[in-house]
Homo-oligomer: A and B are copies of this chain.
Amino acid sequence: MKHFPHFLTRSRSARSGTTPSGQVDFVGAGPGDPELLTLKALKALETADVVIHDRLVSPEILERARRGALILDAGKEGFGLAMAQAEINALIVQHASRGAHVVRLKSGDATVFGRLDEEIDAVTTASLDYRVVPGITSASAAVATIGQSLTKRTRNASVRFLTGHDMKGFAEHDWAALARTGEVAAIYMGKRSARFIQGRLLMHGANPATPVTIIENASRPDQRVIATTLARLEPDLTDAGLTGPALTLYGLAPRLAEAVDLPLPLKELAQ
């Protein structure tokens, strides 16, 4: 057993006395609404020298950064390609090594499908200090919007966050387990893989009437909530013509739909 009573503090003080160098804060920006920034994230932005942000971070959040801070868009697509991970790593290290307070701003929570590890590896290899400031992940904001919980006594004692696709293409998951009654999952990046996920779940015996809710642009002014079922997931997603980031809540319907006497999953929500 190893105790780390003052984990980050110790990591930092161990380097005191060395050449002064910068600090890297990996900060979760939340799902889009600037009001969903944590106080800690806001303070980091207000004291940053350099902010390196993802494509999905909203302009309203970037406006909260210190006026003099250099704002760099790591999600910018030049010639059709976003900046490569190695380039982003190099950018972070380059600025922090010359003493800057770098805020690496990621949408949602940096520890959930945020490719955080590669960047921390680069920062620790360069012997730079860092900390991770957690953020509100999309699943939290999405489920709050529809007035439901990710877990509920007597329904589900666990919830899964999963990605629609991984490095090899559409991501494989434990479909048989997810197909059971009462399961709840938050599916990230599930737009393009909707047909694949739908097919896998139905093949493994999931009830076609299982409620599925897609929240586009969660917490933003242009948020849209699309309530459907597993059976109609793919056509309804296509009809909706989503353009923004979307989070799919498998196994949950909006509470309003329940309240207005649409007893899910018994009744088809589509109209």
Partner-B contacts on A (CB < 8 A): 1-5, 7-8, 10-11, 28, 30, 33-40, 42-43, 109-118, 120, 124, 130-137, 140-141, 143-154, 157-163, 166-167, 171-174, 177, 223-228, 232, 236, 239-240, 254-257, 259, 269-271
CA distance A119 to B205 in the complex (A): 33
- Closest Cβ of chain B: how far from A109's Cβ, in Å? 5
Please state if B36 and A37 are interface contacts (CB–CB under 8 Å): no
Docked complex Cα distance between A160 and B150 (Å): 11
Give the oligomeric copy count.
Answer: 2
Closest residue to A270 on the B side, CB-wise? B1
- Given A2-B271, A254-B7, answer yes or no on A38-B226 (Cβ-Cβ < 8 Å): no
Task: Determine the distance from Cα of A139 to Cα of B162 in the docked complex, in whole angstroms.
Answer: 15
Secondary structure at the A interface, as helix, strand, loop or mixed, is mixed
Question: What CA separation (Å) do A130 and B146 show in the bound complex?
Answer: 11
User: With A171-B157, A224-B3 given, is the CB distance from A255 to B134 under 8 Å?
Assistant: no
Interface contact B177-A174, CB-CB below 8 Å? yes
- A134-B36, A158-B161 known; A226-B2 Cβ under 8 A: yes
Q: How far is the CA of A195 from the CA of B221 in the complex (A)?
A: 47
Residues of the B chain whose Cβ atoms lie less than 8 Å from the Cβ of A137: 140
Least distance between A171 CB and chain B CB atoms (Å): 4
CB–CB B132/A11 < 8 A? no
Which residues of the partner chain B approach A120 to less than 8 Å between Cβ atoms?
Answer: 147, 255
Beta-carbon contact of B1 and A145 below 8 Å = no
Could you tell me the distance in whole angstroms from the C-beta of A33 to the nearest C-beta in chain B? 7
Asked if A35 contacts B33 (CB within 8 A), the reply is no
**A130 — nearest CB in chain B belongs to which residue?**
B147
Q: Is the CB of A117 within 8 A of B149?
A: yes
A37 to chain B, nearest CB (A): 6
